[in-house]
Chains A and B, each alone.
Chain A
Amino acid sequence: MSLDPITVEVVRHKLDGIANEMQSTLLRSSFSPIVKEGLDASAGLFTAEGVTLSQACAIPIHLATLIPMVRKVIETFPVAEMRAGDTFLLNDPYEGGTHLPDIALIQPILVEGRLIAFSAALTHHQDMGGMIAGSVPTNSTEIYQEGLRLPPLRYREDGRVNETLVRILRSNVRIPDTVMGDVNAQMAACSVGARRLAALAGRYGAEHLTAIFADLLDRSEIMTRQALARIPEGTYRAVDWLDNDGVDLDRPIRLEVAVTLRDRAIHLDFTGTSPQVRGPLNCVPSGTLAAACFAIRALTDSSIPTNGGCFRPISLHIPEGTILNPREPAAVNARTATIKRVAGMILAAFAEVMPERVPAASAGEMVMLTFGGQRGDGSQFVTGDQIAGGSGAARGSDGVDVIETDATNGMNLPAEAMEMETPIRLNRVTLRPGSGGAGTWRGGLGTIREYEVLGEDVAVSYRGERHFSAARGVAGGADGAMARGTILRADGSTEVIRSKIVTRMRRGDRILVETAGGAGYGPPAERDAAAGEADRRNGKTTV
């Protein structure tokens, strides 16, 4: 069938609009702060074969993560048996999922009895059971400790929700009302997608519409390959490190990638990457796919409509048994740190060949700091802060101080918000002078935050990175400063945090967080004199 190129473009806008409307519905009707404020949720439309048609996501870590989940549903349930009132659900990382808090709801969209697409919504739930509240323990060593595993299941059949499944779910999580509220929001998002897509099929005809889907994917693939063709062919390598897995503190974790560009395709080989670890930094392959998709999206032309066609030129080789392709039942909940480092590393591999596009390494660090305990009135509190470092300098511009980079994009907590809710006081929120890697263009600075415990007994968990490996400078630029974490006890003693710790703090104890700086670009000696003087005047450098 010959397609009218204008109708194709009109339909594309509608597909993007539907994904945005699904996402808006999802964010709007969810209950938990992690969705409302962390935007840790995503929605989109997929073809009947499980290829992304359009997806709205507020943080890149969600890019592509729904793909293996939709595929697993197609594998598990015969398409011929899918009905319009069905919805599937899963979270198991070993069955297409990412980590247990991320539950996907996936709804088949049928027109005149024929499956034409899926609508899907992914939400990071506030709790999924397991050894600690929030279900992201830094010291888990197997997935069984991390919460309830849900393989692909039929959550709704012919419009009726599976009450058995709901009861199992409710009795395994700490906050069943919140979790079910968020599941219902996901359901609402899927229904919006299904309703609007069915209306679209009514207007254009199901067959015509699915032909347009195929055409849209081809168009994005063509443009992605055109963009890849502009990058010189060859194999480019990068190595980077994670500090440790939170359990074996003395063992740094090596990550390695060889990116081969040939014939308008990109192959990523992760041979050389460390074997899987005991702690929860393992990451199932969909995480690496998300990092790769982020990198491709960032490196190619930003005007290319994002859909599964963009991902067709990508192939991955991830040796089994490594931290990026762990064997069951490895713990996986803290994979965010791993995905961030993989995304940064893939970009770093291109630094040499695309010097005008790729900056020097960013800190790529997001400290996850949580406090839990009792307020003065006996009520319980749990609060968290996420703290960024500096971004890498680029050819032509300095890095940005204290900014989220690569696969995540979360906000820090205002001191005033923290102090109004908890017996924790912030004594200091400043830039970390001198932490940006020197260079013709200077790396962005990290930050210093000092928290003081005003209560009696507070459980503290700190998950850092870049304590033992610096963001690498490029073209003669210096590395960024490494991160530091210190516990300053009220009795005057100090403890240096080795990147990760779970501990308790008492009244007057303080924790000093110093995040890493981004790396510099080009020889420091060639830095513009006025820029260097401004740095000194504004307190960005110490010399």
Chain B
Amino acid sequence: MKEADIGMDGDRGAVLDCEIGIDIGGTFTDIVCRGADGRIRLMKVPSTRGNPSRAVLAALERARTDWNLPPQAVRRLAHGTTVATNAVLERKGARIGLITTEGFRDVLEIGRQKRAEMYDLVLRPQTPVFLAPGAFRKEVRERLDAEGHVVTPLDEDSVRRAADELVAQGAEAIAVCLLFSFRNPAHERRVAELIAERQPGLPVSLSCEVDPAFREYERSCVTAFDSYVKPVVANYLADMEQGLASAGVPAPMQVMQSRGGLMSSAIARQRPVRLFLSGPAAGVVGGLEIGRMAGLRDLITVDIGGTSCDIALIAEGEPLIRAEGYIDGYTVRVPMVDVTAIGSGGGSLAWLDGAGTLRVGPESAGSEPGPACYGRGGERPTVTDASVALGYIDPQRFAGGTIGLRPELAVEAIRRHAAEPLGLSVEQAALGIHRVVNAQMAEAIRLVSIGRGIDPRGFALLPLGGGGPMHATALAEELGVTTIIVPPHPGVLAAAGALGAPVEHEVSLSVPMPLDEAALATLRPALDELEARSGALMAQEGVAPEAVETRHFLDLCYTGQSYHLEVPFDPAAPDAIARAYRDFLAVHDRVYGHSTENPARVVNLRVVKRAAAGVAAGGASWASSEEGPRRRAIWVRHSDTPVEAEIWPRAALRPGLRVSGPAIVEQQDTTTLVEPGWSLRVGPEGVLLIEKESAA
């Protein structure tokens, strides 16, 4: 696909001052630019996998000519990146060594002994042994107890020996995870000093800094990942900065974190593990901003791409965060936007099983060969082929006309592999493919919501990705959702999210103690330490102290429980402890369905500091085309015969217009299907609102 100036008007006046949001994905790099005048410009260029900065520089070069945007006008540059994730997926991280407490060399390899696939007979290792196989794990003599008191003093010679051996074997970075370092970091800090003396300049990751919380496997794992991606992230950022500098861009670079906030590239080098899944996080933040514009605080975002469907929840204006996530199936204890991926998408293949049942997925046609209608050799029908056969996708206008589709191949694939064996017409089979995939996705969305104590019926659905808006009304109907918001540009929402995300830093400390009135005083030293650390990070970001919003959280559990819940905490409030306890009971009731007034314990104390960096690029200015709708026969599940639908170009949808389904809205990056029973109108800032007609 070529770059496309989606929805920009024809103005060619020089841009004097602008901010840029970028999402570097596996296939495309999306750019969103907001000028000082508020005008939004969009571009999509192919990603350059080996060196992602090349795509960004190519886009800037094009922006100079197409948008009359000189590089020195870029005042801020925020981006989401897959560099850390890809380093893991492709096993391209550093060769690292791991230093552990004597007797605990193999914790990283043993893990928690649970297997992910219950019915597989031939098992695969469930732990990231590749990070540091046995020869790269060394023990040092030392031991702390559960209170952090020294049981065995640190044997410094054993540290020097371990460091020398690891470097001699080729280690390029060292991770250190000693037992109970989250209670007392002294031994780990001393290990770092000793390594620095022996091996100056060698990157070191300490578990007491990366993730100061109990459970040694999880802490070892995230610390080792930090170490593993650190040199890769540093190189990537250096490349990018150098490229930008040579192109004449003066702006500092910000990077999206897993948790949904931005940080400067300088700090990203120190906390690289926080870059995992920064792309999906940016997408959810983009969704949050769209919801804000539409005045909606409770949202389910559903991003339907070629091979997967990513589901996330935004409750009361905040994305749900989880305390740990997964990379390539491995536990990574980094706070992350809570995104659940299932294997259904436009490329999901339809097939008949041994009993002649129509099944969809989990196998996907991927991007190569892709759906049959791409004409690249795919012979089996996909969800996208069904969409073409049903008349939802105009073959000439798909992706703005950049990929010419061949509908006859879609029809042929469905006929041969589904319709004829089932004794159905092609259209009935295609509707069947949609019904089956929608049933799968709706159940997955329901499960994600229910599992977090949320009833989806009170939420609005925010469909994203190329495929989301095509399935939105069908999913909403299944879920009992009555409002759908389609962002102006669902296909570039992550880039817009990067632009709108706040600068944010999160630091936490393990402070195991009973939650009672005595706790506040006991928490003081931890509060002071966290304040100092998070304050320093924000200062490094160059944020003025008065612009910083500070929030505190406690992770609490009932005494004896080992899972905990996060609640807000206001140390300045006179009844801070009582309030935290009340909130804990309420959250426990929401998430677990009950609560009792039993004693609670503090697990972690957390400080989150954030400062607004900009506003999201949601309100794109659509050129107001005078074009009216065309008409086309499409097939919907409500009727046995084709129905006449209005086909609207996105640019022709003017504020105040109301369109009843069946209708289709076409734009460069997606196709929106409005089924019968739903109606569409243009909402604030260029979003589309689709409402259930009885409820509208």
A residues near B (Cβ < 8 Å) are 5-6, 8-10, 12-14, 16-17, 20-21, 24-25, 28-29, 31, 33, 36-37, 59-60, 177, 181, 184-185, 188, 218-220, 222-223, 226-227, 294, 297-299, 301-304, 347, 357-359, 387-388, 391, 394, 396-397, 399-405, 409-412, 414-417, 419-420, 425-431, 444, 447, 450, 534, 537-540
Contact = CB atoms under 8 A, between A and B. Distances in A.
A6 B594 CA distance: 39
Given A36-B563, A357-B121, A431-B106, 15 more contacts: A5-B356, A6-B432, A17-B443, A28-B593, A29-B592, A181-B594, A219-B357, A298-B120, A301-B354, A302-B119, A399-B123, A401-B110, A403-B115, A405-B115, A409-B115
Contact of A427 (B103, B442, B594): B103
Interface in B434-488: 435-436, 439-440, 442-443, 446-447, 450-451, 453
A220 B431 CA distance: 24
Contact of A223 (B109, B215, B354): B354
A403 B353 CA distance: 33
B562 interface: yes
A223 B443 CA distance: 24
B125 interface: yes
B168 interface: no
B145 interface: yes
A427 B215 CA distance: 15
Most chain A CB within 10 A, of B355, B358, B447, is at B355
Contacts of B560: 33
Contacts of A539: 134-135
A8 B123 contact: no
Contact of B126 (A9, A400, A447): A400
A185 to B, nearest CB: 7
Nearest to A306: B119
Given A220-B355, A417-B215, A425-B145, A21 B447 contact: yes
16 contacts: A14-B439, A16-B443, A20-B447, A29-B593, A37-B563, A219-B355, A298-B120, A347-B121, A387-B113, A403-B123, A403-B125, A414-B217, A415-B216, A420-B146, A427-B103, A431-B110
A298 B353 CA distance: 18
Q: Name the residue among A16, A223, A403, A444 with the largest chain B CB count within 10 angstroms.
A: A403
Given A10-B436, A218-B355, A223-B353, A394 B594 contact: no
Nearest to A220: B355
A297 B120 CA distance: 9
B176 to A, nearest CB: 16
A505 to B, nearest CB: 19
B417 interface: no
A420 B563 contact: no
A5 B451 contact: no
Interface residues of B, number: 66
A17 B354 contact: no
A488 B317 CA distance: 58
Given A9-B436, A13-B436, A28-B593, A397 B563 contact: no
B273 to A, nearest CB: 20
B121 A303 contact: no
Nearest to B134: A538
Interface string B206-217: 000000001111
A60 B118 contact: yes
A344 to B, nearest CB: 11
A36 B591 CA distance: 12
A212 to B, nearest CB: 11
A79 to B, nearest CB: 29
B110 A402 contact: yes
A537 B453 CA distance: 49
A442 to B, nearest CB: 13
Interface string B351-385: 00111111100000000000000000000000000
Contact of A397 (B110, B122, B134, B450): B122
Contacts of A5: 356-358, 422, 432
B107 A429 contact: yes
- Which of A294, A399, A405 has the most chain B CB within a 10 Å cutoff? A405
B579 interface: no
A134 B123 CA distance: 32
Nearest to B355: A219
B383 to A, nearest CB: 14
Interface in B576-633: 591-594, 596
B215 A9 contact: no
Nearest to A418: B146
B588 to A, nearest CB: 11
A17 B103 contact: no
A347 B123 CA distance: 14
A538 B104 contact: no
Interface of B: 103-107, 109-115, 118-126, 133-135, 145-146, 179-180, 214-218, 353-359, 422, 424, 428, 431-432, 435-436, 439-440, 442-443, 446-447, 450-451, 453, 512, 560-563, 591-594, 596
Contacts of A402: 110-111, 113
Nearest to A8: B357
B593 A25 contact: yes
Contacts of B594: 29, 31, 181, 184
Contacts of B439: 9-10, 13-14, 17
Contact of A28 (B107, B112, B591, B596): B591
Contacts of B435: 6, 10
A25 B450 contact: yes
A394 B356 CA distance: 33
B112 A412 contact: yes
B512 A420 contact: yes
Given A5-B357, A218-B355, A223-B353, A17 B216 contact: no
Contact of B146 (A12, A419, A427): A419
A311 to B, nearest CB: 14
Contacts of B443: 13-14, 16-17, 20
A209 B115 CA distance: 36
Contact of B114 (A33, A226, A404): A404
Given A297-B119, A419-B145, A6 B358 contact: yes
A93 to B, nearest CB: 24
A33 B118 contact: no
Contacts of A60: 118-119
A277 to B, nearest CB: 28
Contacts of A404: 113-115
Contact of A394 (B103, B121, B422, B591): B121
B134 A540 contact: yes
B121 A411 contact: no
Nearest to A7: B435
Nearest to B352: A5
A538 B131 CA distance: 13
B565 to A, nearest CB: 12
Nearest to A388: B113
B218 to A, nearest CB: 8
Given A14-B439, A402-B110, A403-B113, A21 B446 contact: yes
B56 to A, nearest CB: 40
For B146, B356, B435, which residue has the most chain A Cβ atoms within 10 angstroms? B146
A394 to B, nearest CB: 4
A430 B354 contact: no
B319 to A, nearest CB: 21
Nearest to B218: A414
8 closest Cβ contacts across the A-B interface?
A538-B134, A17-B443, A29-B593, A6-B432, A219-B355, A13-B439, A428-B103, A419-B146
Contacts of B453: 28
A411 B180 contact: no
A400 B124 contact: yes
Nearest to B422: A5
A419 B355 CA distance: 54
Contacts of B217: 414
Contacts of B125: 400-401, 403
A400 B126 CA distance: 8
B118 A414 contact: no
